Amino acid sequence: DAGVIQSPRHEVTEMGQEVTLRCKPISGHNSLFWYRQTMMRGLELLIYFNNNVPIDDSGMPEDRFSAKMPNASFSTLKIQPSEPRDSAVYFCASSLLATDTQYFGPGTRLTVL
């Protein structure tokens, strides 16, 4: 079975540009999570969805960040406008239930110049 798929794997952009990260969860999983990982702050949960509905977005740092899950097989995380401090690895993870083991995608390494 295919795991969690993320695209792009690497993104380099300039400050002020819009960035869209994409995630396809494992088929049949009901929960989807977006994380950000940096050396300074570790792994931070940004938002998670249950059955395509956002449940907790308290980790979204600012209004510049938004996430959608239009259907069970696709989610996006958008940053508009991007800033250098947004540079990090962004992981998407999915699980059968929110309390279960999470399966992580390969991550998107974002660099904002």
Partner 1 sequence: QKEVEQNSGPLSVPEGAIASLNCTYSDRVSQSFFWYRQYSGKSPELIMSIYSNGDKEDGRFTAQLNKASQYVSLLIRDSQPSDSATYLCAVNAGAGKSTFGDGTTLTVKP
Chain residues binding partner 1 by CB under 8 A are 31, 33, 42-43, 45, 48, 50, 55-56, 91, 98-107
Torsion of CA 65, 35, 47, 60, to 10 degrees: -40
- Tell me the closest approach of the beta carbon of residue 2 to partner 1, in angstroms: 14
Could you write out the DSSP letters of every residue in 45-100?
EEEEEETTEEEE-TT--STTEEEEEEETTEEEEEESS--GGG-EEEEEEEESSTTS
Rounded distance, CA 65 to CA 102, Å? 22
- Tell me the closest approach of the beta carbon of residue 78 to partner 1, in angstroms: 21
- Tell me the closest approach of the beta carbon of residue 10 to partner 1, in angstroms: 12
Q: Which is nearer to partner 1, 16 or 61 (CB)?
A: 61
- Tell me the closest approach of the beta carbon of residue 27 to partner 1, in angstroms: 18
Q: Which is nearer to partner 1, 7 or 17 (CB)?
A: 7
Pull the structure tokens for residue 103: 């399966």
Rounded distance, CA 105 to CA 98, Å? 16
Q: Which is nearer to partner 1, 53 or 70 (CB)?
A: 53
Q: Which is nearer to partner 1, 25 or 105 (CB)?
A: 105
